[in-house]
Amino acid sequence: MKYDVKVPAVGESITEATIGSWMKKNGEAVKRNDVLMSLETDKATVEVVAEYDGVLFISAEAGKIVPIGSVVAQIDSEAKATTTSTPAASTTPTTSTVSAPTSKSASATKEIHSDLKNHLSPAVQRIASERGLDASSLSGSGRDGRLTKSDVMNVVAQTAAPSPTTPAPTTSPAGKKESSVPPTVDMTLRGLSKQGDQKRVPMTTIRKRIAERLLQSQQTTATLTTFNEIDMSKITELRNKYKDKFKEKYGVSLGFMGIFVKATVEALQASPAVNAFLEGSEIVYNNYYNIGVAVSTEKGLIVPVIRDADLMTVAQIEAAIRTFALKARDGKISIDDLSGGTFTISNGGVFGSLMSTPILNPPQSGILGMHKVEDRPVAVNGKVEIRPMMYAALSYDHRMIDGKEAVSFLVKIKEGVEDPERLLLGI
């Protein structure tokens, strides 16, 4: 019997998806719950599994945009497999720095150079090609007799070196010695490199959507950013004091994000407009606090949402963030994980950013930017002290949030982080 493999509904308002890759081959036997393919939507990557045992027959290739509900393959429970999956052990890595073991006799003989071109580094291959050198005729000093860049450069230098009959460098009328380097010498000899090749790849569905939303945000909001700096001394002391016990009890690390989420919720409660959004000519106030935390993945930035953050403890918030990070790493983030946020926090500090102006995540009206913690001299009670400081940024939609309210919101976060005991006690 034949069963259709259809593109599943992956979220509200999503009408199409892109086939990212097929995990099984055409004509391969599959079992129920085997992962058949990955689908890329404008929000996340979703895996599609087999619902029946049988042989897979693919009708839509990877990279194709397909409507929700369309048939992309069939599983025939009565057919016989025409191909088998390739064992993982025999798969050749595309970027590996470990070569297959070779015997001493093989590496010591000249025979290894017959296949040397297959093992040339890009730099070596480029220089050899530009200079018209036959790599198989050269002796290498690298591992297993492989050619290195130095080997090729030495040959090039010897070729370009002046012969005994070459006239000595002449002196110009002005008394300056003219260069003896021939004008035809390869640019690599002068420490320069030529322009490399170009590579074109299509944008993923997620990257396209990110680009669209960022452009939409810039064009449809009156974005303004205000800054402040936060003394991280107390939160750092608190973290260092309790991080071991915290991890032992809750199984997650104690980071800064849990405290910042708590401080953000308190600030949103004091400034309701920052937790609201514009819809036509109306302002919609959210009486709940779903905090999006930006997470960087190989495919782009995504923002999973911590729901009802006001009802959660710091430990629960840290556990939720860790769960999202693991799901993002494994490509398991769902549409529901990314929906319903009312405010976003982006931590560029993990990449070393000292200051930035984050872009709003529509329809939200505010986004908090965290940055690198850096020791700086600051004035404390009339004296200069070295303190761990962080620049914090709030980007907001000025159409509905006044500057005074935005500054007050950011000051409220600063106060909460600088006095975490009061924040955690709720006073």
Q: Compute the distance between CA of residue 168 and CA of residue 146 in angstroms, rounded to an integer.
A: 36
Please check whether residue 75 is in contact with residue 52, taking contact to mean a CB–CB distance below 8 angstroms. yes
CA distances for 68 relative to 19, 56, 57, 58, angstroms: 11, 20, 19, 17
Q: Phi-psi region for residue 130, left (φ > 0), alpha (ψ -120 to 50) or beta? A: alpha
Q: Compute the distance between CA of residue 112 and CA of residue 135 in angstroms, rounded to an integer.
A: 11
Q: Is 198 exposed, middle or buried (0-12, 13-18, 19+ CB in 10 A)?
A: exposed
Q: Which residues pair with 4 in a beta bridge?
A: 74
Q: What are phi and psi of 229, to 5 degrees?
A: -125, 145
Candidates 4, 244, 375, 402; catalytic one: 402
Please check whether residue 64 is in contact with residue 18, taking contact to mean a CB–CB distance below 8 angstroms. yes
398 is catalytic: yes
Instruction: Name residue 15's amino acid.
Output: T
State both tokens at 74: 């069939």
Please check whether residue 217 is in contact with residue 310, taking contact to mean a CB–CB distance below 8 angstroms. no
Catalytic residues: 398, 402
